[in-house]
Amino acid sequence: MARLVVRVKVMPADAEINLDGVAEVLKKSVPEGMELKQYAKEPIAFGLHAIVGDFMLDDSEGQMDKLEEAIKAVEGVGEIEVMNISRAFVKMK
């Protein structure tokens, strides 16, 4: 089974949200077998920022739905946008 890297833009529910705190909660709340590998804060407008995160998950049925539901369930998350999905290259031993 292949692994996927999914880049997701997470918009805050309001301008006062601590994005680093939201990212830490996202790391802990994604379902088993998924992980937030890295994230960056991206400026949007007027001092507002979004989180752009790279999530790793298996390429199997229903995984994207589970990821989106987990992200949306985090307090402080407004909207999400899936920006890119690609296969991950895993180094063979």
CA gap 48, 43 in Å, rounded: 6
The mean pLDDT value of the chain amounts to 91
Does 80 have pLDDT greater than 80? yes
Does 28 have pLDDT greater than 90? yes
Does 92 have pLDDT greater than 80? no
Mean pLDDT of 55-74: 92
Top-tier CATH class for 3-87: alpha beta
Q: Give percent above pLDDT 70 in the chain.
A: 95
Whether pTM > 0.75 for this model: the answer is yes
Does 1 have pLDDT greater than 90? no
